[in-house]
């Protein structure tokens, strides 16, 4: 994975495969490596771009708050550097919030949008309070925060099934700085509602939904998926569909991105 310089920060990304560009954006406490297994079959037919977002992986921090717009501008910079004019976006959780911000900033360049275990809604007041509690916990002991947060993204029964994967994700997340974690929590807390983006008939949207997602409200996701341009794929598990439903998710991606838009 090469690095490029953005606002005097090293930004880490990968660029593999050939064809139409699919841009994969990871979630909070994750990095671009999360996409390795689910993108492997896609590289035969698509160009796959995966980016370490601000404060994650090998990309450095920009400031005290990494807003979704800050992250979106970073992604747009990388794509412009690579000479990619049009692309589809796949965002997991926080990556979905960033994908929505990109779709708002440069709508004519986005072919398709996939929100994977993500929502177009803003944080509720209760969620904002929980973000603030999380920030306080990170300031007190960020390692404890990470070790508690990662397992709670899986459905309850899968927390024992995927112990090895949970340890691997946790070990990676522990390499982040406390400031990088706080900056993302602050940024997610202040993001606006962007349901207007997924309701545009001109933009095909795929929503990957987990029935037992501990981080998102299932009913609100179903409500968002009812627009004519939205296709919903629903799994029985939690927030980490790339692990809990790896094979089915890979099939869903291959089918949807290969399908012609009417």
pLDDT tops 60 at residue 210: yes
**Which residues have C-beta within 8 Å of that of residue 96, sequence separation ≥ 6?**
25, 27, 115, 116, 117, 118, 119
Domain extent for 78: 3-258
- pLDDT recorded at residue 117: 98
Tokens describing residue 81: 């550097």
pLDDT tops 70 at residue 262: no
Q: What is the CATH number of the domain that holds 92?
A: 3.40.50.1820
- pLDDT recorded at residue 134: 97
% pLDDT > 70, the chain: 98
Q: Is 199 exposed, middle or buried (0-12, 13-18, 19+ CB in 10 A)?
A: middle
Q: Is 153 exposed, middle or buried (0-12, 13-18, 19+ CB in 10 A)?
A: buried
Q: For all residues of the chain together, what is the average pLDDT?
A: 96
- pLDDT recorded at residue 260: 79
Mean pLDDT of the region 114-139: 97
- pLDDT recorded at residue 1: 58
Mean pLDDT of the region 44-71: 96
Strand partners, 13: 51
Characterize the bridge pairing of strands 205-210 and 230-235: parallel
Tokens describing residue 166: 């949970």
Mean pLDDT of the region 194-211: 96
Number of structural domains found in the chain: 1
- pLDDT recorded at residue 89: 98
């Amino acid at each position: 994975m090469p690095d490029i310089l953005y606002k005097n920060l090293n930004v880490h990304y990968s660029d593999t495969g050939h064809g139409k560009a699919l841009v994969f954006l990871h979630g909070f406490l994750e990095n671009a490596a999360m996409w390795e297994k689910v993108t492997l079959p896609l590289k035969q037919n698509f160009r796959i771009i995966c980016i370490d977002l601000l404060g994650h992986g090998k990309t450095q921090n920009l400031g005290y708050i990494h807003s979704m717009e800050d992250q979106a501008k970073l992604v747009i910079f990388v794509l412009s550097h690579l000479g990619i004019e049009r692309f589809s976006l796949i965002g997991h959780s926080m990556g979905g919030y960033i994908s929505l911000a990109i779709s708002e900033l440069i709508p004519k360049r986005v072919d398709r949008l996939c929100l994977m275990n993500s929502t177009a809604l803003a944080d509720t007041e209760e969620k904002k309070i929980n973000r603030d509690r999380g920030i306080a916990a990170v300031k007190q002991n960020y390692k404890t925060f990470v070790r508690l947060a990662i397992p709670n993204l899986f459905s309850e029964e899968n927390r024992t099934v995927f112990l090895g994967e949970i340890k691997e994700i946790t070990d990676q997340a522990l390499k982040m700085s406390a400031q990088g974690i706080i900056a993302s929590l602050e940024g997610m807390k202040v993001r606006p509602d962007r349901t207007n983006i997924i309701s545009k008939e001109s933009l095909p949207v795929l929503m990957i939904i987990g029935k037992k997602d501990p981080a998102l409200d299932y009913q609100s996701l179903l409500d968002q998926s009812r627009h004519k341009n939205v296709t919903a794929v629903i799994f029985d598990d939690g927030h980490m569909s790339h692990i809990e439903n790896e094979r089915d998710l890979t099939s869903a991606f291959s089918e949807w991105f290969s399908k012609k838009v009417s």
